[in-house]
Amino acid sequence: MAMLHTINKSPFERNSLDSCLRLARDGGSVLLIEDGVYAATKGTKVADKVTAAMGRMKFYVLGPDMKARGISEDKILDGIQVVDYGGFVDLVAEHDNVQSWL
Amino acid sequence: MSVKKFMYVNRKAPYGTIYALESLEVVLIGAAFEQDVSLAFVDDGVYQLMKGQDTSEVGMKNFSPTYNALGDYDVNKLYVEKESLEERGLTVDDLMPLTYEDENDDYKEKPSIRVVTSEELSAIMDEQDVVLSF
Amino acid sequence: MPIEVNGKTLETDEEGYLANLSDWSPEVAEAMAKADGQELTDAHWEVINFLREYYEEYQIAPAVRVLTKAIGKKLGADKGNSKYLYELFPYGPAKQACKYAGLPKPTGCV
């Protein structure tokens, strides 16, 4: 079963990213939204962890939440796809289930 | 009333919670009391100062331009912790170029943001009369 | 209580500040001033326009101390004092002028 995981908390303030990466199965997808988008940026202390997980899951980040926070696309880690609200809906539709890591 | 040293410590990212906006409003209100005010930005608080914020697609108010008004309110010491920037892959160039006009120096424009190490910030915090946390 | 301007009904809060910034037009300022028995002269408009520009740039209505200082810098020292501003806006320059300018009540204004 392909699961879509959404993470909306900063990886520097909560352990939502860690818990998600620990418990999510291979082949699922991770969509970073709200304060979760900070996990998608280059050069952070969690960047290696995120990059390592890209081998087994697909990563997406919500564009409007990036823009609100002043994060431009060139600051996003290679391999993470930026989606808009329409893309968010498509991801939900394409997966069997959605799990929110709050 | 004697002038006291007030420090507002900001540790939260701007839009996920209300802390950042609340802090900014309290700073502006508190400025009326003409105390010696400084702001510290540590942990995710450094994200409050990111330049290029554009909230047009998320339906929230972009309050980042208001940090530019702080100079008018005589709030011109914005300490940003170097270690917090580095953990997030950021440098001072990723932050808004905030300035104030120095009344004691022919109204010259000077930068308000000062990047300090944890150790320096620790010493500055120790000097405060009142610390308010957000 | 809503106000009527050019046949349109605009929402306000209980103190008469516009609920939606985008509803503002010069006619709104005129209507609000008329309701207060106040006539708007060029001197009033200078302050109202200044406030709108300040809000546009900083997304806040300035406190009266900040307004006074900024007006003095932009329009001259003879205007950058509370006597001049209170003569124009007897209900309080920040409060009353902000209302006419369609801005929210200034942060920290009592």
pLDDT digits (tens, 9 = 90+) for B28-59: 988 888 899 999 999 999 999 999 999 999 99
Contacts of C71 in chain B (CB under 8 A): none
What's the farthest any 2 CA atoms get from each other in chain B?
46
pLDDT of A80 higher than 70:
yes
Neighbors of chain A with 3 or more C-beta pairs under 8 Å: B
Locate all alpha helices (DSSP H) within chain B, ordered by sequence.
19-30, 82-87, 118-126
Q: Give the number of other CB atoms < 10 A from CB of residue C92.
A: 17
Fold of domain A3-101: Hypothetical Protein Ychn; Chain: A, (3.40.1260)
Task: Please state the rounded mean pLDDT for residues A35-43.
Answer: 98
Is residue A47 within 8 A of residue A77, CB to CB? The reply is yes
Domains of chain C listed by start with CATH number = 3-100 (1.10.10.370)
Residues in Cβ contact with B59 at an 8 Å cutoff, skipping those fewer than 6 apart: none
Is B103 an 8 Å CB contact of chain C?
Answer: no
Is C109 an 8 Å CB contact of chain B?
Answer: no
CATH number, domain containing residue B100: 3.40.1260.10
Residue type, position B50, single letter: M
Q: What pLDDT sits at residue B2? A: 85
Q: Give the number of other CB atoms < 10 A from CB of residue B66.
A: 19
Strands (E), chain A: 3-7, 29-32, 58-62, 80-83, 97-101
In 3D space, the residue among A54, A59, A2 whose CA is nearest the CA of residue A36 turns out to be A59
Domain ranges of chain A: 3-101
**How far B57 CA lies from chain C's nearest CA (Å)?**
18
In B12-71, the residues whose Cβ lies within 8 Å of chain C are 25, 28-32, 61-63, 65-66, 68-69
Domain count within chain B: 1
pLDDT in tens, B53-87: 999 999 999 999 999 999 999 999 999 999 999 99
Q: What pLDDT sits at residue C109? A: 53
B62, B63, B65: residue with CB nearest C57: B65
Return the C-alpha torsion angle B118, A48, B90, A72, nearest 10.
Answer: -150
3-state DSSP percent of chain B in helix, strand and coil, to 5: 40, 25, 35
Q: Distance (Å, rounded) from C-alpha B122 to C-alpha B116? A: 10
Inter-chain CB proximity C58 and B65 less than 8 Å: yes
Give me the domain span that covers residue B72. Answer: 5-133
Inter-chain CB proximity B13 and A42 less than 8 Å: no
Residue type, position B122, single letter: S
More confident residue, C102 or C3: C102
pLDDT of B131 higher than 60:
yes
**How far B78 CA lies from chain C's nearest CA (Å)?**
17
Residue type, position A100, single letter: S
A13, A43, A68: residue with CB nearest B15: A68
Task: Please state the rounded mean pLDDT for residues C75-94.
Answer: 89
Inter-chain CB proximity B52 and A35 less than 8 Å: no
Q: Distance (Å, rounded) from C-alpha C108 to C-alpha B29? A: 4
Locate all alpha helices (DSSP H) within A4-80, ordered by sequence.
16-23, 47-53, 63-68
Look-up: residue for tokens 């500055």? B124
pLDDT of C110 higher than 50:
no
Inter-chain CB proximity B65 and C62 less than 8 Å: no
Sheet holding B78-81, edge to edge: B113-116, B78-81, B36-41, B5-10, B130-133
Task: Look up residue B71 and give its DSSP letter.
Answer: G
pLDDT of C28 higher than 90:
yes
Mean pLDDT value across chain A: 97
What are the φ and ψ backbone dihedral angles of A30, each rounded to 5 degrees?
-120, 125
pLDDT of A50 higher than 80:
yes
Is there an interface between A and C (3+ Cβ pairs < 8 A)? Answer: no
**How far C68 CA lies from chain B's nearest CA (Å)?**
11
Inter-chain CB proximity B66 and C65 less than 8 Å: no
Burial annotation A58-75 (CB, 10 A radius, 16+ → b, else e): bbbbbbbbbbbbbbeeeb
pLDDT of C54 higher than 50:
yes
Q: What pLDDT sits at residue A99? A: 98
Inter-chain CB proximity B72 and C69 less than 8 Å: yes
Round the CA-based radius of gyration of chain C to a whole number and report it. 13
Mean pLDDT value across chain C: 89
